[in-house]
Amino acid sequence: MPRAGVFPCCSSTKSQKPCYTVLVRITVKKDIHILMLEDDVADAELTKFALRKGGLDFSLARVETKDGYLKALEDRPPTLILSDYSLPGFNGQDALDIALEQCPETPFIFVTGTMGEEVAIETLKSGATDYVLKTRLSRLMPAVNRALREAGQRAQHRRAQEQLRESHQQLRALSVFLQSGREEERTRIAREVHDELGQALTSCKLDLSWLASKLPREQKPLIEKTKSLLAHIDSTIQTVRRISTELRPGVLDHLGLSAALEWQANEFQNKTGIRCEVRSALGDRALEQNLSTAFFRIFQETLTNIIRHAGATEVTVHLNEAEGSIRLQVVDNGRGISRSEMDNASSMGLVGMRERAALLGGTFRIGRVNRGSGTRVSVTIPLKTPAQPEANHEDSPSRRPYRGAPRDAANPGRRI
């Protein structure tokens, strides 16, 4: 308890007004607070003496009854509990059970007159930290020191785990933010590149065709030059479409996930010669944009892995809905993946896919195909996803209305 006193320090004979110095004596709060359950005053004093002699700086509350014990636990959570085993109307085991329920991290040491070995073992098994016989109080300080040290280590460990969990959550939030920002940026650039450059090139082409039609027939070199320029514009238009589609295929936003997977599978097959078949039970069903984006990006990464690592000749893709989740399975008939490859924490492609699914409350699994060679990737994401940060981008495709215009075959949904 803080103790304050007001003490006169001088008095002026002239003014007859005494001046005062206020002395505040604050008793330093002990860090270690012991709750002692002991009905014998002499035993309690002996225990305190042993603790002081051992150099422990502590405050202590002694109780004798269950009510007193419960109240003391509520009033001030103890750093350590010292309890006799047999008490009138209450027993040490009950005290231990209450402590384990109310403050499981607080070390609990029995300080008792007699305790058979079997009982001692039982109490340790049921959660007591230690026991010390009153006839051997020299053991008390080492037991207390050890208990406090271990409790401190446990608390430190718990804090470190909490910090780790918190920073993991922050990283996840950051990852969601970066991924959605990146996706929006890609969509915006894809649209700009396709619409603005595409339109500019198309009008160049029209003007050039008009010029060519006005050229006199005898101007052969000029006619040849305009022809080659027109061909050049055509190939540039194709390049613009390819870049725009690679950034974000319009088919995903306008025709849905199944169509986007089929389109991507077709591209993959044409590019690699590996047969790729998509079986979708979803039809043209519209999914939330972040869900279809996650599936599509995982699918692209999986196909890239198949090209790079599998040596496969065939890929089968299944997309379906079951129990409120959408499931994508991609199976190849290649060399298969090994356990160490699956578990490698530095495989950023696999880590990224796993994280993408986890961000939406889903799972990503990769493994060998049962019986036979090949790799199976399985992604399941619930239709109802955990709360996601708001996408506030003005150009967010989900907000921006679609302006009808002729569609580009490679990139349906985008104006030419």
Q: Which residues bind ligand ADP (CB under 6 A)?
A: 305-306, 308-310, 332, 334-335, 337, 341, 347-350, 375
* Shortest spacing between CB 104 and Mg ion, in angstroms: 45
Output the CA torsion sign for 121, 124, 128, 130.
Answer: positive
Answer yes or no: are the C-beta atoms of 64 and 73 closer than 8 Å. no
CB neighbours of residue 101 within 10 Å: 8
Selection from Mg ion, ligand ADP, none that 317 binds (CB < 5 to 8 A by kind) is: none
User: Which option in ligand ADP, Mg ion, none does residue 68 bind, with CB closer than 5 to 8 A by kind?
Assistant: none
How far is the C-alpha of 361 from the C-alpha of 382, rounded, in Å? 7
* Choices 64-72, 129-137, 156-164, 298-306 (CB under 5 A): range interacting with Mg ion: 298-306
347 binds, among Mg ion, ligand ADP, none (CB under 5 to 8 A by kind): ligand ADP
Return phi, psi of residue 140, to 5°.
-65, -50
Q: Pick the closer one to ligand ADP by CB: 185 or 314.
A: 314
Closest separation in Å from C-beta 310 to Mg ion: 11
CB-nearer residue toward Mg ion: 292 or 305:
305
State which residue has the least CB distance to ligand ADP: 349
Minimum distance, C-beta of residue 30 to ligand ADP, in the bound complex (Å)? 55
Q: At what angle do helices 257-272 and 289-305 cross, to 10 degrees?
A: 20
Residue 335 interacts with, from Mg ion, ligand ADP, none (CB under 5-8 Å by kind): ligand ADP
CB of 311 to ligand ADP, least distance (A): 8
CB atoms within 10 A of CB 247: 19
Measured between alpha carbons, how far is residue 103 from residues 64, 188, 393, 400 in Å? 19, 55, 48, 55
Shortest spacing between CB 181 and Mg ion, in angstroms? 22
Residue with tokens 């708001």: 390
In whole angstroms, what is the distance from residue 362 CA to residue 117 CA? 52
Q: Which residue is nearest to Mg ion (CB)?
A: 349
User: Cβ 291 to ligand ADP, closest distance in Å?
Assistant: 22
Shortest distance (Å) from residue 335 CB to Mg ion: 15
Binder of residue 260, out of ligand ADP, Mg ion, none (CB less than 5 to 8 A by kind): none
**Residues comprising the chain, all counted:** 416
Return d(Cα 240, Cα 242) in angstroms, integer.
Answer: 5
Strand partners of residue 368: 375
Q: Which does 309 bind (CB under 5 to 8 A by kind): Mg ion, ligand ADP, none?
A: ligand ADP
Q: How far is the CB of 268 from Mg ion (least distance, A)?
A: 14
Measured from the CB atom, the residue of 318 and 407 that comes closer to ligand ADP is: 318
Answer with the entry of ligand ADP, Mg ion, none that 140 interacts with (C-beta below 5 to 8 A by kind). Answer: none
Q: Which is nearer to ligand ADP, 281 or 351 (CB)?
A: 351
Instruction: Name the packing angle between helices 92-102 and 66-75 (round to 10°).
Output: 20
Place of tokens 């019986």: 371
**Alpha helices, H only, 89-139:** 92-102, 117-125
CB of 181 or CB of 349, closer to Mg ion: 349
Q: Does 305 bind Mg ion (CB under 5 A)?
A: yes
* Long-range contacts, 391-400 (Cβ 8 Å, 24+): 391/180, 391/184, 393/181, 393/184, 393/188, 395/184, 395/187, 395/188, 395/191, 396/184, 396/187, 397/184, 397/187, 397/253, 397/289, 398/289
Which partner from the list ligand ADP, Mg ion, none does 123 bind, CB cut-off 5 to 8 Å by kind?
A: none
Min separation Cβ 83 and Mg ion, Å: 59
Q: Cβ closer to ligand ADP: 155 or 348?
A: 348
Name which of 208, 192, 267, 194 is nearest 236 in CA terms.
194
- Selection from ligand ADP, Mg ion, none that 258 binds (CB < 5 to 8 A by kind) is none
Site string for Mg ion, 330-359 (x = CB under 5 A): -------------------x----------
User: In angstroms, how far is CA 294 from the centroid of its own chain?
Assistant: 17
**Tally of helices (H runs) and strands (E runs) in the chain:** 12, 14
Distance of alpha carbon 54 from alpha carbon 379, whole angstroms: 61
CB 258 → Mg ion: shortest distance, Å?
Answer: 24
Binds 368, which of ligand ADP, Mg ion, none (CB < 5 to 8 A, cut-off by type)?
none
Q: Which C-beta is closer to ligand ADP: that of 269 or that of 385?
A: 269
Cβ distance to Mg ion smaller for residue 139 or 309? 309
* Residues within the interface to Mg ion (CB under 5 A): 305, 349
